[in-house]
Chain A
Amino acid sequence: SQQGEEDPQALSIQEGENATMNCSYKTSINNLQWYRQNSGRGLVHLILIRSNEREKHSGRLRVTLDTSKKSSSLLITASRAADTASYFCATGGAGSYQLTFGKGTKLSVIP
């Protein structure tokens, strides 16, 4: 099955810095989604980018997608302590109900 793999596994930055996380996957996709998970909680959907899109913005979030390299990146600008969480990418195939999640990047933002 398709699987996203995030890189790095863990990232520690100072408040105000930018954070970049990467995701690679193996097969063709219909869309790629990013989610955030605070410790011990459910996941929260952040952004969805379709296979025919290259870049998408939402507030301080910027997502890029390069289907030729089968990779995506999530940039969080001007990070805040409240951004501390794990971030997951998930890929969906054409016409599929199933999303396949990577193992996540654990982001720590130090005040």
Chain B
Amino acid sequence: DGGITQSPKYLFRKEGQNVTLSCEQNLNHDAMYWYRQDPGQGLRLIYYSQIVNDFQKGDIAEGYSVSREKKESFPLTVTSAQKNPTAFYLCASSTGRNSPLHFGNGTRLTVT
């Protein structure tokens, strides 16, 4: 089945450590996205990538970094510079502009 795989489902880290969240898709979509969701809130865009080797900052990019070396993969690193990293992180992909997003099932990151 085609889809988006995020791993791990739950992640625990100590404050001050960088952590990388994995996102892989086999939908052959060009565009990929990372969103952050806090309790009772909507989704906020962290980064997006329109094509391999290219990515743009979203609304809340500070403290995060990404890479897009392969079409299928768009990993997100939460750095120690992110002041409030505990959240639910969602990866998505789409065929292009103004297209529906296909989401993974998320990674819940807890930093203590």
Q: Which residues of A contact B (CB under 8 A)?
A: 1, 4, 30-31, 33, 35, 40-45, 48, 88, 90, 92, 94-104
Contacts and interface: CB of A to CB of B under 8 A. Distances in A.
Q: Is the interface of B mostly helix, strand, loop or mixed?
A: strand
Interface centre among B96, B106, B108 (most CB of A within 10 A): B106
Given A98-B58, A103-B41, A103-B42, A45 B101 contact: yes
Contacts, number: 63
Interface of B: 4, 6, 31, 33, 35, 40-45, 48, 50, 56, 58-59, 90, 92, 94, 96-98, 100-106, 108
B103 A98 contact: no
Contacts of A30: 98
Given A42-B6, A45-B101, A100-B45, 17 more contacts: A41-B105, A43-B43, A43-B92, A43-B103, A45-B100, A88-B43, A90-B43, A95-B97, A95-B98, A96-B98, A97-B48, A97-B50, A97-B56, A97-B94, A99-B45, A101-B44, A103-B40
